[in-house]
A and B are shown apart, each in its own frame.
Chain A
């Protein structure tokens, strides 16, 4: 079936480094993608989203890149801080459907 998956289960970086978290998706009908941050015991927190008619979108310290040719999504975090430590999920929504399909998550560990 269609699925969203992540390449790296854990990413460890030093404070101040730039982080890149990757996500592969397989549903070519997906037209909307979101990155969520989840801290322990909390719900998914919206970070940034992108629609399929775009290939890049920037927020505060975060950038999402979408490559529809290879069905790849990435989240770049600039100047990573200890407070960025969490599990990051990508999620996709297919056109005409309501549900978000989540990936398996990548744990980001930021050392001071």
Chain B
């Protein structure tokens, strides 16, 4: 069964550093997403991406965040200057049409 792949599985970074989280969505999917989950809390939407542009974003997704699809397979989330409160699990998701969101296994980001 096709999977959404995320790397790395765990990233530790110092406060103020830039991090890039990587995702390989399912190959024929058209819509791409990033969500995050702070430990013990619910999954929160960050951003959606379609046709090479952001189609929707949340209040969390401020100027410190950016997304990119640099080639035909990767989808990245960049955090320019990490803060302690950015520590969370970050999930990438993709879907082909209006239904069927598939999530990756996540990247655990720890900011120290």
Contact = CB atoms under 8 A, between A and B. Distances in A.
Asked whether A and B interact, the reply is yes
Interface of A: 32, 34, 36, 41-46, 49, 51, 89, 91, 97-105
A101 B45 contact: yes
Contacts of B87: none
A31 to B, nearest CB: 9
B100 A44 contact: no
Interface string B43-57: 111001010000110
B31 A98 contact: yes
A63 to B, nearest CB: 18
Contact of A32 (B58, B98, B102, B106): B98
Contact of B105 (A36, A42, A51): A42
A97 B55 CA distance: 9
A83 to B, nearest CB: 18
B101 A99 contact: no
A99 B99 contact: no
Nearest to A5: B42
A105 B103 CA distance: 16
B45 A99 contact: yes
B104 interface: yes
| Interface-centre pick from B42, B50, B56 (highest chain A CB count, 10 A) | B42
B75 interface: no
Nearest to A97: B56
Contacts of B105: 42-43
Contacts of B48: 98-99
B103 A98 contact: no
Nearest to A95: B98
A44 B42 contact: no
12 contacts: A44-B91, A44-B103, A46-B103, A91-B43, A98-B31, A99-B33, A99-B48, A99-B58, A102-B42, A104-B41, A104-B42, A105-B42
